[in-house]
Amino acid sequence: MTAASPTPTTVALWRDWRGWPETLANLWRRSLRFRTITITLVLTSLAIFITSLTMALVIQNNLFESRRDEVLYDALSAVDQAQKTLDSAEVSDDPSALRALWGDVQDAIPRAASSSLIAAFPIDEPPVGTGVRGFTTGGLSGDLLSAGLRGRVVALPDRQAWQSVALPMEDGSVSPGIIVGQQLIVPEVGAFEVYIAYDLADSERTLQFVQSTLWTAGLILIAIIAGISWIVLRLVSKPIIEAAETSARLAAGDLAVRLPVHGEDELATLARSFNAMADSIESQIKELGELSLVQQRFVSDVSHELRTPLTTIRLAADMLNDQREHFDTTTNRTTELLHTQVQRFETLLSDLLEISRYDAGSVQLELEATSLTDLAEDIVDQMRPLADGHGSELRLVAPGGYSPVDMDPRRVRRVLRNLIGNAIEHGEGRPVVVTVDSNQHAVAVGVRDFGLGMTPTHAERVFDRFWRADPSRQRTIGGTGLGLSIALGDARLHGGTLAVWSELAVGTNFVLTVPRHPGELNGSSPVPLEPQETLADVSRATQPIQLTELRQLYFTESIPPGEEDHS
């Protein structure tokens, strides 16, 4: 058995520390659990830090004050006992007895005090011959005594004075301490400054132990709160995550998915409500699907059934139209209108049948290796008389698209015929430019007019069935309102796209893009959707751009001799 190793993504994440801020920002935006736990831990840590710091300061102050009061009482007791000894002794004028008494005081003060660090200094110069001098025990030197402390002791004979100091230790380190000073009156000699130093190292160790215990308990408490928060959030967020995943699956079309229901709490109520909503949506979608199938079948059946009588009517209309010159003016016009509307009715039936095939998913391509440029040239030639009738000029620009690509030429012809027809109808008599180009991924054709244009809202609905930007505007070419919907279906059937750009008073540009190989498109279209040329740029050309000229310009070497004029 081999040990499991961390995934490459995890290892890369830990190594690439510069990406941590972005990763944490993404987690903050996308994960409710991470955000809640982070906020809980931050606020909890802040509260525990403030509480521990406050407790540590309070304990430190109380411990110091307690120890200070203790050493003050201890020093006062020791000096008072020494003062009683001096007051009760009878030394008269005997210097030797005075020296012996002073020696007893030097021994009594360390015994009475809990510290051996003692120093005594005369305030005034003792009388000559008494033999009483100052002394120090335990290594307490006058260098540790500040001038302020000594001044307070001298100025206040009936009170104690104290000061916090750093006491030097034998190993060279220092320890916190307190020096307590007060006066001691020696008979026949005068007043002395007596100082007793107390080491507070034991209190410092106690304080450090208490503080470390507080901080350790705080960290443990934070870890416990983090674990509890994780468990609680998991219990609460897990049903929410399941609801989100179930909603996504339901939106993706899995109508049978449901949420599990546990208990009688709020989450269980949410799950039951969600399941009821899903049941309602499923039943409604099934009803709509059945209605859609009925509608598709109805359209298909009606279209098929109408073909037989329509064929008879069309034959009769053609016969009448052929003989209309022998009719009077009113009958002649009526016959012409009948012939035109029968043709439009036949086109509408064909489009309805095609739409019903798309709805039923029964459309198939008949692929052939076809040059999109040749296809566009044929359609331009076919539509040129219609353009001349509307006062528009058709121009073909083909820097690419000559190599054959597998496509259904019948459907692509239908798309181009529809796009060019719409451009002529809405071009307001201005030029219509058809651009064909290609790259390594796709071939594309763009149909650009300089007519009325559309608003962005209208451009979004231009592929809707039977939709017109201006309902009051009549179709002059006899369209059915289904052409662009079918054209979009043809483009998607090829794995390509049909996009539109339009701007009011500037014009419209449709771009059909077909991939060179079956499948999804890779990369951008060779024909830009938003055109760069303006009407003034197009109007500078006095003659339409001919495909023959482009072939001679770009493909002179590939054209066999003698065929230059027969392209």
The pLDDT assigned to 370 comes to 92
Residue 141 has pLDDT above 60, yes or no: yes
Greatest distance between any 2 Cα atoms in the chain: 173
Give the separation between CA 227 and CA 126, rounded to whole angstroms: 74
Any idea what DSSP says for residue 454? -
CA–CA dist 381, 515 (Å, integer):
25
Calculate what percentage of the chain has a pLDDT beyond 90. Answer: 19
Q: What does each C-alpha distance from 181 to 72, 184, 202, 256 come to in angstroms?
A: 9, 10, 22, 91
pLDDT band at 286 (very low <50, low <70, confident <90, very high): confident
Please state which of the ranges 238-242, 375-379, 398-402 shows the lowest mean pLDDT. Answer: 238-242
DSSP readout, 272-313?
Answer: HHHHHHHHHHHHHHHHHHHHHHHHHHHHHHHHHHHHHHHHHH
CA–CA gap between residue 401 and residue 444 (Å, rounded): 7
Weakest-pLDDT range from 168-182, 238-252, 510-524, 552-566: 552-566
Q: Which residues contact 383 (CB under 8 A, 6 or more apart)?
A: 394, 417, 420, 421, 424
pLDDT at 140: 84
Amino acid found at 437: D
Residue 17 CA, chain-centre distance (Å), reads: 19
- For the segment 28-41, what is each residue's pLDDT rounded down to a tens digit? 887 777 888 888 88
Phi, psi of 497 (to 5 degrees): -135, 155
Q: What is the pLDDT of residue 556?
A: 43
Residue 551 has what pLDDT? Answer: 47
Q: How confident is the model at residue 510 (pLDDT cuts 50, 70, 90)?
A: very high
Average pLDDT over residues 46-61: 88
**Which residue do the tokens 């030197």 mark?**
141
Q: What is the mean pLDDT of residues 36-50?
A: 87
pLDDT tens digit string along 373-398? 999 999 999 999 999 998 999 999 99
Residue 468's pLDDT band, with cuts at 50, 70 and 90, is: low
pLDDT at position 14 is 55
Q: How many residues does the chain have?
A: 567
Which of the 8 DSSP states describes residue 542?
Answer: S
Place of tokens 């099934």: 286
CA-based torsion, 424, 436, 376, 500: positive or negative: negative
Q: The domain 287-357: what is its CATH number?
A: 1.10.287.130
CATH architecture assigned to 23-257 = 2-Layer Sandwich (3.30)
Please give the Cα distance from 225 to 207 (Å, whole number): 27
Q: What angle do CA 52, 55, 57 make, to 5 degrees?
A: 110
Q: Where are the domains of the chain?
A: 23-257, 287-357, 364-554
The two tokens of residue 152 are: 């307070």
Identify the CA nearest to 187 among candidates 76, 95, 80, 113: 95
The more confidently predicted of residues 279 and 4 is: 279
pLDDT at 476: 52
What gap in Å lies between CA 444 and CA 373, rounded to an integer? 9
> What is the per-residue pLDDT for 336?
84
The stretch 253-260 carries a mean pLDDT of 84
Straight-line distance from the first to the last Cα atom of the chain, in angstroms, rounded to the nearest whole number: 73
Decide: pTM greater than 0.75: no
Q: What is the pLDDT of residue 137?
A: 86
CB 559 within 8 A of CB 552: yes
Rounded-to-integer distance, Cα 520 and Cα 258, Å: 34
pLDDT at 13 exceeding the cut of 60: no
Q: What stretch of H or E contains 447?
A: strand 442-449
CA 187 to chain centre: 88
- Give mean pLDDT, residues 222-242: 83
Q: Do the bridges between strand 394-397 and strand 432-438 make them parallel or antiparallel, or are there none, so unpaired?
A: parallel
DSSP 166-223: EEE-TTS-EEEEEEEEEEEEETTTEEEEEEEEEE-HHHHHHHHHHHHHHHHHHHHHHH
364-554: CATH superfamily: Histidine kinase-like ATPase, C-terminal domain (3.30.565.10)
Lateral strand order in the sheet of 161-168: 135-137, 117-122, 190-199, 174-186, 161-168
Average pLDDT, the chain: 81
- 152 Cβ contact list (under 8 Å, min separation 6): 161, 181
Residue 547 banded pLDDT, cuts 50, 70, 90:
very low
Q: Which residues, including other chains, have CB under 8 Å from residue 117's CB and lie 6 or more apart?
A: 137, 138, 139, 140, 167, 196, 197, 198, 199
H or E stretch covering 122 = strand 117-122
